[in-house]
Amino acid sequence: MLFNNAGVQYNYDFTESVIPLEKISQEININITGQIILTHLLIPLLSNNSNAFIINTSSGLGAFPKPDGVVYSATKAAMRNFTVALRYALQKNSIGVLEVIPPVTDTGMTAGRTENKMSAEELVERIIPQLRKERKVITVPIMRIFLWIAFLFPSLANKILSKS
């Protein structure tokens, strides 16, 4: 099993001209480039196992971005599309490809942000049983609700995100 779960997010006003370009490069390299390269390098090894699968962590922000996380949101959208494309590319192999869309999780990256965070332990407890159900996208109920809100009522989703 390969679990791509790397992520870094810098919150800044993307329209300002004083953003260090290293931050943009770092977000892209950690959040998408490194994971794509690692996946490519491990496919031959994973192909030797009939029960192998790749789990890619994206984000609700990949489906509905927030203004102070422009690059992060873009990389998570890229991870969502990479996951779908990879699933199609690996159809002839025995490697399963899953996407996990977690809610805001209590990690170092989310320190100081919204108070309504799920612990990493609770997230794992909720996701592991779903792995056995052979779903293509795994999430928790609160994220399913938010993704539907974002799809059906984008303005409402924007208001919710701007308050978080």
Domain 2-163 fold = Rossmann fold (3.40.50)
pLDDT at 109: 59
pLDDT at 114: 63
pTM of the prediction? 0.80
pLDDT at 105: 61
How many residues can be counted in the chain? 164
pLDDT at 136: 83
CA atoms within 13 A on the CB side of 120: 6
pLDDT at 12: 85
Residues of the chain with pLDDT under 50: none
**Rg of the chain on CA atoms, in Å:** 16
pLDDT at 121: 80
pLDDT at 117: 66
Q: Determine the Cα–Cα distance for residues 51 and 126; give it in Å rounded to an integer.
A: 21
pLDDT at 2: 92
